[in-house]
Amino acid sequence: MTTKYVNWGSGKVKLTWNPVLQLPPRELITSVHAFCFKDGKLLLVKLDQRGWDFPGGHIEFNESPEECIKREAHEEGYVSGRCYQLGYMVVDHSDNPNWNETSPYPRVGYQVFYRMDIHEIHEFLAMFESQKRLLIDPNDVKKYYLHWNELYQEILDLALNQL
């Protein structure tokens, strides 16, 4: 397990990567993300407001985490494939003075991470929040992703070791 404090907005948040395959409580999962691969290349999507990122987003009503990431990968990157759970990140706002009971996120929530093996690349229509997609050498991710950190690197390394 790796822990890192980051500044989100004007608050300090504690992030802890936990590479276990048991899902956290569904009601506390705040988002789902995936490192998606095709022929050893990593998919990045250029998102409105955020720049280059890996696919991910919020779970919709009656959707499982795996269904969520498959939908998000299709909406953002126009890809589909098979998913494998890698673990989850604990997002702890206990040290965040800006967090309160009316926050849209729980004091302690979870982001679930998957690896996707892309089986099909669909026509890129840019109908949702993504402007572009790229397949890159995974070693080049820091050139694109502005807020890359050691937690993401640990998750990416785990995903790469399972290819």
Determine contact, residues 112/72, Cβ cutoff 8 Å.
Answer: no
pLDDT per position as a tens digit, 69-98: 999 999 999 999 999 999 999 999 999 988
Write down the pLDDT at residue 14.
95
pLDDT per position as a tens digit, 10-69: 788 999 999 988 999 999 999 999 999 999 999 999 998 889 999 999 999 999 999 999
Mean pLDDT in residue range 125-153: 93
Write down the pLDDT at residue 8.
78
Residue 82: alpha-carbon gap to chain centroid = 16
Determine contact, residues 37/43, Cβ cutoff 8 Å.
Answer: yes
Residue 18: alpha-carbon gap to chain centroid = 14
Dihedral sign of CA atoms 93, 156, 129, 48 in order: positive
Q: Is the pLDDT of residue 114 over 80?
A: yes
| Tokens representing residue 119 in the block | 């089986």
65-99 residues labelled b (16+ CB within 10 A) or e (exposed): bbebbbbbbbbbbbbbbebebbbbbbbbbeebeeb
- Pairwise CA distance, residues 70 & 68, whole Å: 5
- CA-CA-CA-CA torsion for 72, 77, 80, 85, nearest 10 degrees? -50
Write down the pLDDT at residue 35.
98
Structural domain spans, the chain: 2-161
Residue type (1 letter), 128? F
- Pairwise CA distance, residues 103 & 139, whole Å: 36
Write down the pLDDT at residue 11.
82
For 27, 28, 75, 82, 103, the CA distances from 124, given in Å and listed in that order, are: 32, 32, 9, 19, 35
Sequence length of the chain is 163
- Pairwise CA distance, residues 119 & 113, whole Å: 19
Superfamily for domain range 2-161: Nucleoside Triphosphate Pyrophosphohydrolase (3.90.79.10)
